[in-house]
Amino acid sequence: MIVQDSKTILEVRGLCASVNGIEILKGLDFTVKSGEVHAIMGPNGSGKSTFAKVLAGHAAYEVTGGSVLFEGNNLFELAPEERARAGVFLAFQYPIEIPGVANSQFLRLTYNTVQAQRGMEELDPLEFDDFVREQMKLLEMSPDFLDRSVNEGFSGGEKKRNEILQMALLDPRLAILDETDSGLDIDALRIVSQGVNQLATQDNAIVLVTHYQRLLNYIVPDFVHVMEAGRIIKTGGKELALELETRGYDWVAAEYQSASENRLV
Nearest to 53 by CA among 93, 8, 109: 93
> Stretches 42-50, 87-95, 126-134, 246-254: which one binds other proteins (CB under 8 A)?
87-95
Sequence-ordered alpha helix ranges (H) in the chain:
48-56, 80-86, 103-117, 125-138, 144-147, 156-170, 186-199, 215-218, 239-247, 250-264
Segment interacting with other proteins (CB under 8 A) among 9-17, 105-113, 185-193, 217-225: 105-113
Quick check: 211 and 224 in contact, CB under 8 A?
A: no
- Span interacting with other proteins, options 27-35, 77-85, 240-248, 254-262, rule CB under 8 A: 77-85
Judged by CB under 8 A, which of 100, 121, 124, 265 binds other proteins? 100
Angle at 73 (CA atoms; ends 70, 232), nearest 5 degrees: 40
Binders in 39-58 for other proteins, by CB under 8 A: 56-58
CB of 103 to other proteins, least distance (A): 12
Tell which one of 43, 80, 183, 236 touches other proteins (CB under 8 A): 80
- Spatial separation of the C-alpha atoms in residues 249 and 261, rounded to whole Å: 19
Q: Is 18 in the site for other proteins (CB under 8 A)?
A: no
**Alpha-carbon Rg for the chain in angstroms:** 19
119 by Cβ neighbours in 10 Å (0-12 / 13-18 / 19+) ranks as: exposed
Q: Is 60 or 264 the residue whose CB approaches other proteins more closely?
A: 60
- Minimum Å gap between C-beta 167 and other proteins is 10
- Using CB under 8 A, pick the residue from 110, 194, 217, 235 that binds other proteins: 110
Q: Output the CA–CA distances (angstroms, integers) from residue 54 to 2, 9, 15, 87, 228, in the order listed.
A: 25, 16, 10, 15, 17
Select 64 or 149, whichever has its Cβ closest to other proteins: 149
Which residues in the 161-180 window bind other proteins by CB under 8 A? Answer: 166, 170
| Residue 178 to residue 51: CA distance in whole angstroms | 10
117 forms part of the interface with other proteins (CB under 8 A): yes
Q: Give contact residues for other proteins (rule: CB under 8 A).
A: 56-60, 79-81, 83-85, 89-90, 92, 95-96, 98-101, 106, 109-110, 113-114, 117, 149, 166, 170
